[in-house]
Amino acid sequence: MISCIVTDLDGTLLNHESKISPQNVESLKMAQEKGVEVIVATGRNYPDVIEIFKDTGLKTWIIAANGATIHDPEGNRFDHVPMDKQKAMKLLQWLEERDYYYEVFSNDYLYSPQRGRQLIEIELDRLCTANPEISRAELEKHAITQFSQTGFSYINSYKEIEMPTIDVYNILAFSFDKQKLDAGWETFKDDPSITLVTSGTYNFEFEHKDASKGNALVKLAKHLGVPLKDILAIGDSMNDLSMLEKVGYPVAMGNAREDVKNASIEIAETNDEHGVANTVKRLVLSSIAI
């Protein structure tokens, strides 16, 4: 019997406008009222997640930064896995020297280059000029989602976050240039000192080698006394695979990548069709006595 629900945010609990539908909120609240534990597991930074949930009335455990941090429903940090600082600085130097737009997830802020948006605009111009059939408006939606996060602090150089008091949990590189995305992946995919993941078509991300949604979920499940076989996990992207592979009830969204669907026992509706709400009602609430 399912006693815990873990849901991803972007492409899963959030619709294409990065909003949580009333249906999704209601289903999770109903599950909590029936004694089911609810956990959010996302690639976003913790302060950004809090902003998203502030008007929903939902309070859950939050696995953020792809598993690098865990916070309890009251906002207390339960666990964290920061990157090695020297390694993080070398990765940022590599990105900055090659004109990548990047974001650094830290304790309280999301650090990003002062000229980051300019870099993205240049890439958009090049891509749309070379491929006039591509919809610029559609691509701009991805950029807007990236820029609409909470807690930005703009820097002129990665060296500004070198001080030891600033933990680095996640480094995200975003680009519309496929060659740059491929170069990043090929350069670091075999590096045993980091975890390299992607949470979308236009990014790749660096984390501590032990940081993943799956590893964080194992820690939290042990703390909560919840068997992994009794957990329902719902996701859509490659960074969700580590948790889907560990639970008894892995479910992929209708809009999920094929690799994610292949790792799941069921395919839900899309994130614009309240796939989380429908899955919770079908697999959880229907089996709990009123």
Length of the chain: 290
- Of 38, 42, 33, 34, the residue nearest 11 (C-alpha): 42
Can you list the pairs that 33-37 forms with residues at least 24 positions away whose Cβ atoms lie under 8 Å?
34/284, 34/285, 34/288, 35/3, 36/2, 36/3, 36/4, 36/5, 36/284, 36/288, 37/3, 37/4, 37/5, 37/61, 37/224, 37/226
Residues ≥6 apart with Cβ < 8 Å to 213: 8, 41, 63, 66, 67, 239, 240, 242, 243
Q: Active-site residue 259, yes or no? A: no
Q: Are the C-beta atoms of residues 57 and 29 closer than 8 Å to each other? A: yes
Q: 8, 48, 177, 236: which one is catalytic?
A: 8
Residues identified as active-site: 8
